[in-house]
Chain A
Amino acid sequence: MRILVTVKHVPDLQSNRSFTDGTVTRTAEDGSMNELDEHAVEAALQLVEEAGEGEVYALTLGGPDAVSAVRKALQLGAHHAIHVSDEAVAGSDVFGTAMVIGAAVRKVHAEAPLDMVITGMAALDGLTSMFPTALAAELDWSQLTLASAVSVADGEATIERHLPDAHETVTAPLPAVVSVTDEANKPRYPNFKLIMAARKAEVPVWTLADLGIDPALVGGGAARATVVDASERPPRENRRQVTDKGEGGRELAEFLIEKGLA
């Protein structure tokens, strides 16, 4: 079982996240591996452990700081790390991103076939959940997304997914792109020995040239949509807070009635 996990370096959820020139501001100090990607790493490790053999590759795309995301995956038990980094990729939309990561996946797949790519169901910065689908389309592999459970048997992967209107079971032949939710598993804690090893691990950096991609096809210039304005939302005005001394419910009701909400 050979699985590649895509992990993303995102601004820390607790930090003051912001935009610069229409793209997310990324800094090393407050960034971390996208939390949902821990579930992707865990799902990959479990599938390899169940199979009794195999390897997990952790791959990230981003500037120099993004390497911390694959180092985190190594701490959790991933066997190999790859960092795709090229200034020309900055500002790419989901399709450009899928083209670059798709090329990197093909490069690994050409060395020895992969069974699966596993991703988190969303990145907690953009939250669009579009990347796994775009990658499956780019690779022309099976698409099994929003999985709360994944299993593999006889060259096919089967997932369960919980949608608001129905619980689905979907199956498809390998290789597949699978995205997992936080219901899929409970990520393990980083292992001390692996933490030390991850710190020293040599992480190869692949550029667009290594992937044979024309820089004109990716980046902000090739994006199909452009952020034309980004501004911080003003805090809520006229906030009111009362302490319940026996009248809290009445005060709340009056607020709702006054606002026409009750």
Chain B
Amino acid sequence: MSTDTVAVLIEHRDGAVTPPSLEALTLARSLGTPIALWLGDAPAADAVARLGEYGASEVRVVGIGDDARLPAKAAAAIAAATEDAPVLVVISTFVTKEIATRLAVLNGAGVVVDAAGASRVDGRIETFQTVFAATWNVRTRIDAERAIVGVRPNTTQASPAENPGDATVTQVEVALPQTRERLVSVEPVEQGEGVPLAEAPVVVSGGRGTNGDYTLIEEFAAVLGGAVGASRDATDEGWISHEHMVGQTGTTVTPALYVACGISGAVHHRGGMQASGTIVAINMDPDAPIFEISDFGVVGSLFDVIPQAIETIKAHRGE
């Protein structure tokens, strides 16, 4: 086992490598020599080139399709394909957290998920993460011989490798175990235009204060190049689908910019966004708890504030 091989589980959509995967590869380069692990049909040449550009010397392809959706199967495939890599980096999602847990049961690895970064200290992997709705910073040392790190999107700045090489592609055959669980149906969720919420660099969220009208929220998100989020109140009212919910039981987001519009900032919501880079809030109520954690707050109506903000930004851009 090469002691510094770091496997990275690559996330891909429609054959393209996702931005968090490039962040994960960038992080992996600081921990050792990255190899990319690709579950699914073999990647196209441009995807392989992209992985090489971000430092992967090798792309290992395991040809499993929907089976990868069952954590026990995905974990078995990854274990077989990355036996020589003592460190595995995945992007923290509900699904990869389950895969990481299964994998750790198979290979004895220590696991930290939802990390905001990692480094190698005295040969061990140390991770950094925020907990308790981003009110505490914690550093964790993985003591086991093997380490699995689940890293959150937008926590590492992706940058191409200084000395990129051509990644070689290896097809790996693995025997998948029988599992008790069986997928009965998989119904894809319409992915609207733009980036998915979890990995968006900017999130504009609307809550009760929208009264169910998301037109301005969508427009502001489009101007800022971001995704649309929502509070629990708004999804409970049926104003917007559950996939948009930001919060401890919905999607946890850590964008560079989070804009909360008409959201009071209940503790469940804060838990899902408080680790964001810059937080902006617009709310009619000057005592709304969201203001306690925002870098810039506007006490006012989002229906007045957003159009003027959009107009000013467009004028600044000369549009």
Report A's interface with B, CB cutoff 8 A.
13-14, 17-19, 36, 93-95, 121-122, 124-130, 133-134, 137-138, 141-146, 158, 162-173, 176, 181-183, 223-233, 236, 238-244, 246-257, 259, 261-262
Contacts and interface: CB of A to CB of B under 8 A. Distances in A.
B79 interface: no
Contact of A232 (B136, B295, B296, B304): B136
Given A124-B248, A243-B286, A250-B312, A173 B143 contact: no
Contacts of A19: 136, 138
Contact of A171 (B108, B181, B308, B311): B181
Interface in B274-308: 278-280, 282, 286, 291, 293-301, 304-308
Interface string B194-230: 0011100010000000000000000000011000000
Given A243-B300, A248-B298, A164 B105 contact: no
A167 B183 CA distance: 11
Most chain B CB within 10 A, of A14, A141, A236, A256, is at: A256
A169 B296 contact: no
Given A128-B113, A225-B144, A236-B279, A248 B135 contact: no
Which secondary structure dominates where chain A touches chain B?
mixed
B126 A172 contact: no
A128 B224 CA distance: 30
B131 A126 contact: yes
Nearest to A176: B180
Contacts of A233: 130, 134-137
Interface residues of B, number: 90
Given A13-B267, A170-B184, A224-B143, A145 B304 contact: no
A146 B257 contact: no
Contact of A166 (B186, B196, B248, B301): B186
Contacts of A246: 304
A164 B71 contact: no
A157 to B, nearest CB: 10
Interface in B47-94: 69-72, 93-94
A62 to B, nearest CB: 18
A130 B97 contact: yes
A168 to B, nearest CB: 5
B185 interface: yes
B295 A165 contact: no
Nearest to B181: A172
A164 B102 contact: no
Which secondary structure dominates where chain B touches chain A?
mixed
Given A248-B305, A252-B309, A259-B278, A121 B297 contact: no
A146 B69 CA distance: 13
A177 to B, nearest CB: 11
B264 interface: no
A165 B111 contact: no
A139 B180 CA distance: 13
Contacts of A242: 296-299
B183 A169 contact: yes
A19 B211 CA distance: 39
Contact of B304 (A144, A170, A226, A249): A249
A39 to B, nearest CB: 9
B256 interface: yes
A240 B297 contact: yes
B29 interface: no
Contacts of B271: 13, 124, 127
Contacts of B98: 129-130, 133, 143, 145
A164 B135 contact: no
10 contacts: A122-B249, A124-B271, A164-B93, A240-B296, A241-B294, A246-B304, A248-B305, A249-B298, A253-B313, A256-B280
